[in-house]
Amino acid sequence: MEATTYHADVCNYLSAREPDLWRWGALSTQDDLQQVRLHLLKTTYQLSLKAHPELHAAAARAAQALGITPAISLYQSNDGGFANVAVYTAPGEAHIIFQGTVLGMLNGAEIDAVLGHELAHYLLWQRDGQRYWIASRILERLALEESPPGVWASTAIRYQQYTEIYADRGAYALCRDIGPCVASLVKIQTGAPTVHLDSYLQQAERILAHDSVAGEQAGHPQNFIRTRALALHADGAEGIDAALALLLAGPLNLNRLDILDQLELHRLTRRVLAQLLAPAWFASDSVLALARRYYADFQPGEATANGACALPPGHQLSEFFSFVLLDFACVDPSLDDLPLAGALRMADHLGIGETFDALLLKETGIKKAALTKLKAARDDLLARATTSIAP
């Protein structure tokens, strides 16, 4: 069971772009196993093989389905508390802790789903030289040191969310049916004695029919998101990575950027600048100096290489790109109205014309009548400028 694309992309970024951090993470050791084992014995009732053979047999089936062979220990927490299941993993060991009344509220297939979920955590953390565990360790540290919370905190949360999505796939790998997987999630969270799958799927669909729905900034995605993600996985749906990104993060938003979003915004901004500055008349010293404050290696003529630019559906970037366009509209007064005309055309191309117009009126002091006149003359003005510069 391969890691998600998100896990792979974050690991590739950290190992390539942050080699010192990656070496630190790889050298980090997990907690002292002797202390962990002792803590578990002191705070739980151990569910021994002799006393609970059926539960151990289910755990063995789950491990076999996932292709792993850890020594599995099972426990019931002394703290009654709310229903939950957790796992502690180490090389060659998986310790699964049941809390509250989980074992009493789930049937056999639902117990299988829970065990498949928890052991999938072991699989992810131990596979490929523990690279996914190393990335998790690094992200936790970066998020802890980031104040106020920003891109690393968002990345750490989203990485954990994708880890839960991956673990749900472990549940499905064992059950081959999303019914017990979904039922175990809902029962543990709500305490409901029974869960009707079709009813809950319809409930999830009604929630997700609203475009504004996206995952909360919490390590475990909401159950309706996990249910949709699992259904997409079970169906082998195309475009599942893009669908998960929308479910967990929503459209690109400056207030919710993780490190991969930041890279995408970096690339998108460069494509916008390349297209804006494509006309030869725009390549003045002042304009290029500003462009190289954005990208030190920026060169005129990048538009063809970078391709046409378009903002992603549902984005919340109108104000950001309006300010970018305003920078270049105002940087070189010697070009008269040409930069502003070019920025107005680019704003319309990006679908942010109204936001850009409002920003111009607020920030530049231009009168509404003058702006209306310039917009009417824009295309002719730009065409004449291009013709006069052409060889």
Q: Give the pLDDT confidence of 67-96 residue by residue, as tens digits.
A: 999 999 999 999 878 899 999 998 999 999
Q: Tell whether the model's pLDDT for residue 307 goes beyond 60.
A: no
Out of 41-55, 105-119, 276-290, 301-315, pick the least confident: 301-315
Mean pLDDT of the chain: 92
pLDDT in tens, 200-231: 999 999 988 875 555 566 678 899 999 999 99
> For residue 231, how many other CB atoms are within 10 A of its CB?
17
- The pLDDT assigned to 391 comes to 41
pLDDT in tens, 137-168: 999 999 999 999 999 999 999 999 999 999 99
pTM of the model: 0.91
- The pLDDT assigned to 173 comes to 96
Q: Tell whether the model's pLDDT for residue 283 goes beyond 80.
A: yes
Cβ proximity of 375 and 337 under 8 Å:
no
Rg of the chain, C-alpha, whole Å: 27
User: CA nearest 111: which of 163, 61, 165, 68?
Assistant: 61
pLDDT in tens, 310-319: 899 889 999 9
CB-count exposure of residue 116 (10 Å: 0-12, 13-18, 19+): buried
